Amino acid sequence: MISPVKIWRRQKEIRRILGKKGQVITWTKILAAGAEFKIQAPYPVVLVQLDDGQKVFGQLVDYHQKDLKIGLKVISTLRKVRTGTREDIIVYGVKFKPIK
Amino acid sequence: MVSVAGYYTTQFGELWEKSFSDLVKEALFGLLKSVQKIDKNEIDAIFFSNMLGGVLENNLHTPSKISELLGVNIPIFRIEAACASGGAAFHLAKKYIESGSAKTVIVLGAEKMTDYSPEETTSALISAASGEEQEAGLTFPGLYAMLANFYLQKYHYKEENLAYIAVKNHFHGSLNKKAHFRKRITVKNVLESPYIAFPLKVLDSSPISDGAAAVLLTSDNNILKKLTNKIEILASEVATDSISLARRKDLDSILATKIAAEKAFKTAALAPKEINVAELHDCFSIAEILAMEDLGFWEKGTGGKNILELPTMLGNSGDLVVNTSGGLKASGHPVGATGVKQIGEIYLQLTNQAEERQVKKAHYGLAHNVGGSGGTAVVTILGI
């Protein structure tokens, strides 16, 4: 079961890093995922240095193959991260999309 | 001075017929039998290394279960530091003897992983990463893939440069009867294997394995007098670092390895060039390249080029042979057992018991065990 309390605690952190611009430091594309993310695979994950200096992980969304590179400029956005059973709450979190 | 005076390992691999307890029992009794001149009543304590028993198998309070299996009532402790559990257990066992609390101790490591689906095991393993990394959908191959991608771009190498590590370690694995994989592979095989986390492929990666290993540590002169095959622990150092790659200063090196290595070489009063044989933590091909550089064997950034000549492969011209057991890559990676097996392999090499894969005139050996993506590192130096 996804713990609503854990999600509630985390949401307070996520709010601070939404809508922020940054640059991809390194990336990978996950093809063999864990149980909770298997349904989404394959998906790219990027490590981003935000313009304010902090570094944040997130999946890359709304991308083309050519976007998968170190140095790509991105912006953080709120997206669905994972779902559990029908009774569970839906987990939202930070993902990144390329700046067009 | 504390000595390593015995070693036993089970077969590593997909051992469907063997349970967690079977593996633990085989390693313990196998060790006692191989040392022969020692009775179980001479063992003062056991340090048990295991990562996933609680997560995958609902199996905790293992010390008491080991007490039952062996029929002893001595202190037994379980140590967990992800994939560095074995090295950490060894470190603590040595300190326990040095403190005067015991004279003779077994370090035992075991893991049962193949009863579960790959995604269940992948999820269990990522418990050793930060919450933020987990929520991004990262896996352990994914974290090392990020390090690999950074390294390849920074130093202008190709995926092919990494593949040579796997070729070398599979060659060594082919010479080790206890290894999970005994098949030799080519660079082409590695490059044609499917990606699991770009740029890392199946054949860049260590497998999910079952297995158990045990070493005997003692400072008891009465026991040491009776034994011919023994080596000395010259140094065992542990260092830690931020769990998240996002909190690390550099992505082309593992700081915990550098710190532990620096301390270990200082304690042992040796230089990297004096090491003849090493077991390095090659959970992924990139990890052995980074380790060679961070331990001081190669200059930073040169690993991708140096490995093309395979200088660290048995029978080649180099002064240092690396991962004669096959490494995590070919010998297999039953997480809790890995760090113990590394020390055991160095023991076999330094006591001339490594059979087909014996390195000639090996006097000093090093074992390097890493937890997570570098959150813990243990460097052990052994000598005769």
Distance CA B365, CA B157 (A): 29
Nearest CA in chain A to B125: A34
Proportion of chain B in helix, strand, coil states, percent, rounded to 5: 45, 20, 35
A84 alpha carbon, distance to own chain's centre: 17
Q: What is the 3-state secondary structure (H, E, C) of B196-262?
A: EEECEEHHHECCCCEEEEEEEEECCHHHHHHCCCCEEEEEEEEEECCCCHHHCCCCCCCHHHHHHHH
Residues of chain A contacting B, Cβ within 8 Å: 10, 25-38, 40, 43, 45, 47, 55-59, 70, 81-82, 91, 93
CB contact under 8 A, A47 and B119: no
Distance CA B270, CA B277 (A): 14
Both tokens of B292, joined, read 């060679």
| Least trusted range by pLDDT, from A81-95, B99-113, B250-264 | A81-95
Catalytic residue, chosen from B61, B83, B172, B363, is: B83
Position B199 pLDDT exceeds 90: yes
Q: What is the CA radius of gyration of chain B?
A: 19
Active site residue B83: yes
Domains of chain B (ranges, CATH numbers): 3-116+209-231 (3.40.47.10), 138-206+233-383 (3.40.47.10)
Q: Which amino acid is at B4?
A: V
Nearest CB to B119 within list A34, A57, A58:
A34
Distance CA B236, CA B367 (A): 9
Give me the helix-helix angle, B285-294 and B255-268, nearest 10°.
50
Distance CA B143, CA B374 (A): 10
B89-121: pLDDT as tens digits: 999 999 999 999 999 999 999 999 999 999 999
Domains of chain A (ranges, CATH numbers): 4-98 (2.40.50.840)
> Span B32-44, mean pLDDT?
93
Q: How confident is the model at residue A84 (pLDDT cuts 50, 70, 90)?
A: confident
Active site residue B180: no
Give per-residue burial for B346-367: e unless 16+ CB within 10 Å, then b. Answer: bbbbbbeebeebbbeebebbbb
Give me the helix-helix angle, B159-173 and B140-155, nearest 10°.
120
Task: Name chain A contacts of B207, Cβ cutoff 8 Å.
Answer: none
Proportion of chain A in helix, strand, coil states, percent, rounded to 5: 20, 40, 40
Q: How confident is the model at residue A97 (pLDDT cuts 50, 70, 90)?
A: very high
90-149 in chain B: CB under 8 A from chain A: 117-120, 122-123, 126, 131-133, 135-139, 141-142, 145-147, 149
Nearest CA in chain A to B116: A35
B71 at A interface, C-beta within 8 A: no
Question: Across the A/B interface, how many CB contacts are shorter than 8 Å?
Answer: 94
Position B83 pLDDT exceeds 90: yes
Q: Is B266 helix (H, G, I), strand (E, B) or coil?
A: helix
pLDDT of residue A1: 77
B146 alpha carbon, distance to own chain's centre: 22
A66-80: pLDDT as tens digits: 999 999 999 999 999
Both tokens of B249, joined, read 């200063």
The dihedrals phi and psi of B196, each to the nearest 5 degrees, come to -110, -35
Nearest CB to A28 within list B118, B198, B246:
B198
Q: Around Cβ B259, how many Cβ atoms within 10 Å?
A: 18
Reported ipTM exceeds the 0.85 cut? yes
Q: Please give the share of chain B, as a percent, with pLDDT higher than 90.
A: 99
222-261 in chain B: CB under 8 A from chain A: 244-247, 251
Categorise residue B188: left if φ over 0, alpha if ψ from -120 to 50, beta otherwise: alpha
Give per-residue burial for A25-49: e unless 16+ CB within 10 Å, then b. Answer: bbbbbbbbbbebbbeebebbbbbbe
Distance CA A33, CA A36 (A): 8
Nearest CB to A59 within list B137, B195, B200:
B137
